[in-house]
A and B are shown apart, each in its own frame.
Chain A
């Protein structure tokens, strides 16, 4: 622990930086709209971003930077060597900074691994399980599956002793194959897995999971994954169930305010997202680069021109913030899972329900409620509590 421990709910928990919108592959469920653009974040804009974020006074502990919203490794290593130096000089010696990269891993090589190890960058790999599931959606621009290239990257990470976790997207195709997915991860020495559901977000206006008929199938998938999670005795960890344990252990079940502040997606500046041009957004990271008839592009200012405090005066920001707050209030009044969640994911509410001022989404059902139900029932069973 450091002397400047972060207090969740009272500042910037996460800074998301878009090094480039470009992605070298073309997944059919991607929500990003500009992934053919080869723009990149300029050093001067990066310096302005860090300067403005720190000048806000909202960074109250170690600053977590996630490089995302495009394929970060599509840029040359030299970009990050310069960027990390710019950040180090902008923040000064007293500010602890950690870096994370979410990558499709197709471009990982020994040089990247050395850099990742040298800077202790946390790595998340996007991998949907075995090839027949992964390649159904994660393809390149010629329509070819990327699984073999991803696994080459995974092997390279492992050979270089680079720790990483995997984020897998659950699509309708995966629902009948939880055993194949979990066996695949176990067989390949992948120990930490998070499951995202295929969501309606940004340019991805349809999901294979929206049909009501899939509800029971998703729950069955998650129950089977939980059986693996338990039976593996620590050999593989599943993020959604660990979060559920954490929520059951620590949620303040008597306080609605505590839950709201713990959800950094509903809190202004809990997450700050900055695109490669210096445009700033906040709330859900998926809002960066998204478009809406009502709210435009969800950008609330540019770090080359404004301070974070100026964002408060931006009329669209105020409208979005008000609507998100209304949605959180609706959740607090209607959902008994609220103490464990704090108001859901605003981007999912907007793109799925058409308004931030709404409640349940697929994210709620499958990422919050189902894991809590599964873990709580298992705890009750093992503690011989009747329910």
Chain B
């Protein structure tokens, strides 16, 4: 029997009429759609990261994150609770990221405004 995960094709959806005790139609629909969507995005065997070696995008991004983290840690120790205005573009990245235990550093300056505004942009993907 074909394995839909393996050949990248979609599994047949669960018949809508299937009686499932204790599950409301609304939840059944959500489960059905969510399972379907998950099958689509997970379709096919796990992909190897293309060009994951030296000089790859993944490696360069990891190096940037590490260097930025070190620099910010150093500046945090230097400046204590009142961080300086970092020059662009590090300041930007510091405001975006939630990674690497920056804690309250994410709250400095206009973090909340930036964050709201960034969320607004996400609604305009390719429109």
Contacts and interface: CB of A to CB of B under 8 A. Distances in A.
Contacts of B43: 325-326, 328-329
A380 interface: yes
Contacts of A309: 13, 16, 28-29, 32-33
B37 A267 contact: yes
Contacts of B28: 309
A270 B126 CA distance: 14
Interface string B15-51: 0100000000011111111101100111110111111
Interface in A312-342: 312-313, 318, 321-322, 324-326, 328-329, 332-340
Contacts of A284: 126
B63 to A, nearest CB: 6
Which bucket holds chain B's interface residue count? 35 or more
Interface string A232-268: 0100010100110110111101101100110011111
Nearest to A378: B89
B10 A325 contact: yes
Interface in B67-101: 67-68, 71, 87-90, 92-93, 96-99
B13 A312 contact: yes
Q: Which 10 A-B pairs have the closest CB atoms?
A: A57-B30, A249-B97, A332-B47, A309-B29, A253-B58, A260-B41, A249-B96, A336-B51, A312-B13, A325-B43
Interface of A: 9-11, 13-14, 55-58, 64, 66, 68, 100, 102, 122, 124, 165, 167, 192, 194, 196, 230, 233, 237, 239, 242-243, 245-246, 248-251, 253-254, 256-257, 260-261, 264-270, 284-286, 307-310, 312-313, 318, 321-322, 324-326, 328-329, 332-340, 345, 347-348, 363, 367, 372, 375-376, 378-380, 382-385, 387
Interface of B: 8-10, 13, 16, 26-34, 36-37, 40-44, 46-52, 55-58, 60-65, 67-68, 71, 87-90, 92-93, 96-99, 117-118, 120-127
Given A312-B36, A385-B67, 14 more contacts: A14-B123, A55-B26, A167-B124, A239-B124, A268-B36, A269-B33, A313-B13, A318-B10, A326-B43, A328-B43, A332-B50, A334-B50, A380-B60, A383-B64
